[in-house]
């Protein structure tokens, strides 16, 4: 019996779509109601989570889709997972929901245990955690940690703030409110608040009309695929981008305190960074005293065939901060250097300091991933699926451009010639029972749960074989 | 039978503290463990939420405190409330926890119902909602709404973005990333992320070393108490501050797109704003085309004797955006003007668009508040308690300076002569079984749950009578 079968004995054996358009009539009716109180325009359909099971999501019209998008890459174990239901019904969950604590001031007796469970799954080298509420929040909390660390290196960790700092900060002015930057990369996505929005650089619509910090965006490598046939050109691309990174660090009018990067730019097009590139960034950040932050919000928790994607790069010494969210259903950052603990209490602080309800779910997810060897399974299924897609690529090279994500679990993407063709493919996939997402302008990205197995890959590939020739 | 007795038949009849210091030995031991993985320095003690009940919080040493702080003003109905336990065990909660949806793309069938429940409790004039994850998040989402609205007024709601805007925004530059400001007030607290941090102005420690936007802080009125004996002076103070507001709007080098204000500055010292001041701000913001945002994160959900504190001011026309969090255990903003819905989808968007688990709890809290008439009860109990405190003020004027919050439910505060004396009072209250918080430099703030009744007020007043003479 496979892991998926053991979780979901009643999982459908195949998708079924009965409506001629999506959203179907019942979804449309419910969206019209929802639209009166909520911005429902981005909705693909209205989901029926009660009926959804395992790798299949069901909509209000009872259409059943094989889900390769998984709530924008956020469902780790499939729908209505029995282990998570157990965690959701536990007495500690009831308390976490009903008596939501201000964890900084009044930590619960079980908090050490809850956090220690999460730390079991921390990336190599990281042994401490700070918790937040979303990926954007996690990144901004990491920026705060980085700024405090950077200034403490300049000032001395235990040096008191000056009177001038204490006064000027209340005016949002120098020196208490310093001019410091976080460097990120073109096509990056790190969230949509104001600091996270300033490092995000994937689409104008995410940022237009919002004030931004004057922070620099370096260039993220654009590789030629397949990687193994283009090593020399891609190494040159790495070096070109590394030079831009270092040039910006030394020339930007505002000191660069931190650098944040996704090991695979997800929202921005599934752009991969090589082991060489990620390691060289460690060298450059150490050389210039820049805090190195890896954003694993979308890549983390198993989907790339490692628990954390940047483990593929074996970066040495370990990066400074690693942020997480999505598949952990919780958020925050891991770190190892004790000097990232602020020199005084209440500097990294807020009312809730995270949500224990979501932390409990995260711990249960991590435990299942390990107990059921789901990272290894994802690597295996990803290899299987990638092989099938390579075959399709040979047959339809026009519709499978830049196929990428080989040996990266099910974290796979490719390009269509145009946005219209990509959107048309996604639409036809949905009408044929496969819920798949896009990214960037003309990419398809696969983001199934870790419970996605070979039989599901077969269904998806068969569906592609049906719809691609109709493009 | 009182509401509290019906909820909590086994609530303790009085506090009991057995340890000679707080945190007690067991709390200290657990905090040492917690400190290895988490910043535990701000902890008052380790709480045992399993044993906590109603208005009483129990710590790891089995000390039982009457709780007048309620998780920094975040517990609405007391600990282990039976109605919330029921909500936490509901099938819709299990699904919300286990199948956390990306509500924007894949809204659940029950989302309209969940949101409509929350809208039942919206402030007068507000009939729409957008959801977030914390008070800081709610405020920043409101800023995004305000900036889009402000620019759409200049550009035209349906006008397309220019090529120059689409390009410059990717460089964090003008005109796509405009220079626009949110005005706030000195001593304000609106959160600790980067935009919310820029409008926060309560203590340097909240802001030091973080880059900030160059946004202005006007002056919040400082009244003389009791209000009824100082009407003329306080009106002059209102006018002085209003002039500063208008001067800053017209002179600040960056256009002021929005103004955010707490109807009572909570973290910053329980500073009250008069009905006159809050109404005049409506006049000024309308005159200058500035979006008016009321931050009800700490004042909302009943504690001031109205469901929303700014209802006391009967502001006409209704303010533009009202943010909430804390006692609703959920976060977001209410609004009424359809033009605050962005002109395109995906401008106000993120993966989760809120947490349905927390929204379900918020709906259950609101329903209990209404069904059990807890706003009215809080007004009644607040009047009762305020009378007792006025009597203590007559007896110990030195230790009850600027007693404030009359006719504002249990949202009551006063000042001690010094920070040391305030801290000493809080410490002795704790040792005598009352958990109470401070705010600003030398204020005591009362923030009990809405289940706080006359008998609890009597216990607190008796404890004050014991510890104040010992100061």
Secondary structure tally for chain B: helices H, strands E: 15, 16
Q: What angle do CA A452, A23, B126 make, to 5 degrees?
A: 110
Cα–Cα separations (whole angstroms), residue B422 to B126, B284, B441, B442? 39, 37, 8, 5
Would you call B170 and A207 a contact, using CB atoms and an 8 Å cutoff? yes
CB contact under 8 A, B108 and A204: no
User: What distance in Å separates residue B400's CA from the closest CA in chain A?
Assistant: 26
pLDDT tens digit string along A81-109? 999 999 999 999 999 999 999 999 999 99
CA B391, B395, B397, B399 dihedral sign is negative
**Chain B residue nearest residue A127, CA to CA:** B37
Decide if domain A91-370 falls under CATH 3.10.20.30: no
Task: Pick A33's closest partner by Cβ from B112, B127, B144.
Answer: B112
Interval B202-257: pLDDT, tens: 999 999 999 999 999 999 999 999 999 999 999 999 999 999 999 999 999 999 99
Which one of B67, B114, B172 would you mutate to disrupt binding with A, by most A Cβ within 10 Å of its Cβ? B172
Separation CA A44–CA A38 (nearest Å): 15
pLDDT attached to residue A189: 98
The pLDDT of residue B59: 98
Residue B120: pLDDT band by 50, 70, 90 thresholds? very high
Question: Confidence class of residue A318 from pLDDT cuts 50, 70 and 90?
Answer: very high
pLDDT in tens, A378-393: 999 999 999 999 999 9
pLDDT tier at B54, thresholds 50, 70, 90:
very high
Is residue A351 part of the annotated active site? The answer reads yes
The CA-based dihedral angle spanning residues A177, A178, A182, A183, taken in that order and rounded to the nearest 10 degrees: 150
Pairing of strands A256-261, A264-265: unpaired
Q: Which of A264, A261, A274, A279 is nearest to A409 (CA)?
A: A264
Count CB neighbours of B120 within 10 A.
Answer: 10
How far B228 CA sits from the closest chain A CA (Å)? 32
Under DSSP, the state recorded for B426 is: H
- Using a CB-CB cut-off of 8 Å, the residues of chain A touching B50 are 91, 95, 109
- Token code pair at residue B222: 């400082």
Residues 6+ apart with CB under 8 A from B101: A47, A49, A71, B107, B108, B352, B356
B206–A105 C-beta distance less than 8 A: no
Helix ranges restricted to H, B227-355: 231-251, 275-288
Q: Which letter, b or e, does each residue of A349-380 get, where b requires 16 or more Cβ atoms within 10 Å of its Cβ?
A: bbbbbbbbbbbbbbbbbbebbeebebbebbbe
Residue listed under structure tokens 């009106």: B235
How far is it, in rounded angstroms, from Cα B263 to Cα B271?
9
Closest CA to B356 of B138, B71, B131: B131
* Spatial distance between the Cα atoms of A201 and A192, rounded to a whole number of angstroms: 10
Average pLDDT estimate for B53-58: 98
Residues 129-158, chain A: which have Cβ within 8 Å of B? 129-130, 133-137, 140, 143-144, 147-148, 150-151
Q: Which of B288, B349, B342, B353 has the alpha carbon at shortest distance from B161?
A: B342
Nearest-CB residue to A346 (from B46, B172, B205): B205
Partners of A439 on chain B (C-beta within 8 Å) are: none
A112-146 confidence digits (pLDDT tens): 999 999 999 999 999 999 999 999 999 999 999 99
Q: Which of residues 350-369 of B touch A (CB under 8 A)?
A: 350-352, 355, 357-358, 361
- Mean pLDDT, residues A425-434: 98
Nearest to B347 among A88, A165, A205 (CB): A205
Task: Please confirm, yes or no, whether A295 is among the known catalytic residues.
Answer: yes
Residue bearing tokens 């007024």: B153
Q: Is B335 helix (H, G, I), strand (E, B) or coil?
A: strand
> CA nearest A202 in B: which residue?
B170
A residues 230..269 contacting B (CB < 8 A): none
Contact B219, B188 (CB under 8 A): no
Query: How would residue A397 be classed by pLDDT, with cut points 50, 70 and 90?
Result: very high
pLDDT at residue number A398: 98
Residues from chain B contacting residue A172 (CB–CB below 8 Å): 198, 212-215, 217
Residues 6+ apart with CB under 8 A from B22: B44, B45, B59, B63, B427, B430, B431
- Of A89, A97, A211, nearest to B357 by CB-CB distance is A97
DSSP SS3 for A187: coil
Sign of CA dihedral A144, A149, A151, A155: positive
User: What chain B residue is nearest to A43 in terms of C-alpha separation?
Assistant: B105
**Top-level class of domain A383-445:** alpha beta
A65: chain B residues, CB-CB within 8 Å = none
* Contacting A residues, span 428-457, partner chain B, CB-CB under 8 Å: none
Q: Give the pLDDT confidence score for residue A183 in this predicted structure.
A: 98
Asked whether the beta carbons of residue B209 and residue A148 sit closer than 8 angstroms, the reply is: yes
Which of B210, B216, B349 is most worth mutating to test chain A (most A CB atoms within 10 A of its CB)?
A: B210
A100/B171 CB distance under 8 A: no
B440-455 pLDDT, tens digit each: 999 999 999 999 999 9
Contact B42 A111 (CB under 8 A): no
- Tokens linked to B356: 């349905």
Q: If contacts are CB pairs under 8 Å, which of residues 296-325 in chain B contact chain A?
A: 325
Instruction: Say whether B17 sits in a helix, a strand or coil.
Output: coil
- Residue A164 neighbours by CB distance under 10 Å: 12
Q: Which helix (H) or strand (E) holds A64?
A: strand A64-67
How is domain B3-81+374-470 classified at the CATH fold level?
3.90.1150
Cβ atoms B145, B218 nearer than 8 A: no
End-to-end CA distance of chain A: 37
For A:64-83, CB contacts with B below 8 A are 71-72, 74-75, 79-81
Domain range annotation of chain A? 1-50, 91-370, 383-445
Sequence-distant (6+) residues with CB within 8 A of A405 are: A264, A270, A272, A304, A382, A386, A411, A412, A413, A446
Nearest residue on chain B to A255, alpha-carbon basis: B211
* Strand stretches in A361-427, DSSP E: 401-404, 413-415
- pLDDT given for residue A353 in this prediction: 94
What is the mean pLDDT of the segment spanning B159-167?
A: 96
Q: Which fold has domain B101-354?
A: 3.40.640
pLDDT score of A349? 94
Write the CB contacts of A169 (distance below 8 Å, at least 6 apart in sequence).
A176, A177, B204, B207, B208, B212
Active site residue B340: no
CB proximity A338 to B under 8 Å: no
Tokens of B218: 């006007």
The band of B408, judged by pLDDT with boundaries at 50, 70 and 90, is very high
The pLDDT-based confidence of A21 (bands split at 50, 70, 90) is very high
Task: Please give the backbone phi and psi of residue B374, each rounded to the nearest 5 degrees, phi first.
Answer: -75, -25
Q: Tell me if B308 sits within 8 A of B123, measured CB to CB.
A: yes
β-sheet bridge partners, residue B70: none
* Mean pLDDT score, B314-323: 98
How many angstroms separate the Cα of A291 from the Cα of each of A249, A310, B350, B383?
12, 16, 26, 53
> Is B351–A71 a contact, with Cβ atoms under 8 angstroms apart?
yes
Q: How far is B119 from chain A (nearest CA, A)?
A: 8
Residues for chain A: how many in total? 471
Structure-token match 């503290």, residue found = B17
**Could you give the CA distance from residue B315 to residue B304 in angstroms, rounded to a whole number?**
16
Continuous H helices in B307-350: none
Cβ separation B74–A352 shorter than 8 A: yes
Q: What is the mean predicted confidence (pLDDT) over B302-318? A: 97
pLDDT tens for A40-77 read 999 999 999 999 999 999 999 999 999 999 999 999 99
What is the spatial distance between Cα A76 and Cα A67, in angstroms, rounded to a whole number? 12
CA distances from B360 to A356, B112, B213, B461 (A): 16, 12, 35, 36
Residues of B with Cβ-Cβ distance to A137 under 8 angstroms: 133-134, 137, 193
Task: Give the position of tokens 């800053």.
Answer: B248
Which value, in Å, is the radius of gyration of the alpha carbons in chain A?
23
Interface check for A30 against chain B (CB to CB < 8 A): the answer is yes
Is the distance from CB of A425 to CB of A418 less than 8 angstroms? no
Distance CA B263, CA B274 (A): 8
CA dist., res. B143 & res. B295, Å (int): 11
pLDDT in tens, B357-390: 999 999 999 999 999 999 999 999 999 999 999 9
């Amino acid at each position: 019996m496979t892991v998926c079968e053991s979780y979901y004995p009643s999982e459908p054996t195949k998708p079924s779509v009965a409506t001629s358009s999506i959203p179907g009539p019942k979804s449309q009716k419910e969206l019209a109601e929802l639209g009166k109180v909520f911005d429902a325009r981005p909705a693909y359909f209205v989901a029926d989570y009660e009926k959804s099971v395992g790798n299949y999501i069901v909509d209000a019209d009872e259409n059943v889709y094989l889900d390769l998008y998984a709530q924008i890459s956020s469902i780790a174990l499939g729908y209505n997972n029995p282990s998570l239901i157990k965690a959701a019904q536990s007495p500690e969950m009831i308390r976490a929901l009903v008596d939501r604590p201000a964890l900084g001031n009044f930590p619960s007796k079980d908090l050490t245990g809850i956090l220690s469970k999460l730390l079991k799954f921390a990336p190599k080298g990281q042994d401490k955690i700070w918790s937040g509420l979303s990926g954007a929040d996690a990144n901004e909390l990491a920026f705060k940690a980085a700024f405090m660390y950077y200034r403490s290196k300049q000032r001395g960790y235990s040096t008191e703030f000056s009177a001038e700092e204490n006064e000027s900060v209340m005016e949002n002015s120098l020196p208490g409110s310093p001019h410091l930057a976080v460097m990120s990369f073109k096509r990056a996505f790190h969230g949509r608040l104001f600091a996270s929005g300033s490092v995000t650089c994937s689409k104008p619509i995410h940022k237009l009309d919002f004030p931004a910090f004057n922070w620099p965006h370096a260039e993220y490598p654009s590789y030629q695929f397949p990687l193994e046939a283009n090593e020399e050109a891609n190494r040159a691309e790495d070096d070109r981008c590394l030079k831009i990174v270092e040039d910006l660090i030394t020339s930007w009018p505002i000191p660069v305190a931190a650098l944040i990067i996704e090991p695979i730019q997800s929202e921005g097009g599934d752009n991969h960074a090589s082991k060489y590139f990620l390691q060289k960034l460690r060298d450059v950040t150490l050389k210039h005293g820049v805090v190195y932050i890896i954003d694993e919000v979308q890549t983390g928790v198993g989907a790339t065939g490692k628990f954390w994607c940047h483990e593929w790069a074996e970066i040495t010494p370990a990066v400074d901060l690693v942020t997480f969210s999505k598949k952990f259903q919780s958020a925050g950052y891991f770190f190892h250097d004790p000097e990232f603990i602020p020199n005084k209490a209440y500097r990294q602080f807020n009312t809730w300091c995270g949500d224990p309800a979501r932390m409990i779910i995260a711990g249960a997810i991590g435990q299942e991933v390990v107990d059921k060897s789901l990272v290894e399974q994802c690597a295996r299924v990803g290899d299987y699926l990638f092989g099938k897609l390579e075959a399709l690529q040979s047959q339809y090279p026009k519709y499978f451009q830049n196929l990428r994500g080989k040996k990266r679990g099910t974290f796979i993407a490719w390009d269509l010639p145009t946005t219209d063709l990509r959107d048309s493919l996604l639409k036809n996939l949905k009408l044929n029972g496969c819920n798949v997402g896009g990214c960037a302008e003309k990419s398809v990205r696969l983001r199934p749960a870790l419970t996605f197995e070979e039989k599901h890959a077969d269904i998806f590939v068969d569906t592609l074989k049906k719809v691609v020739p109709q493009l």
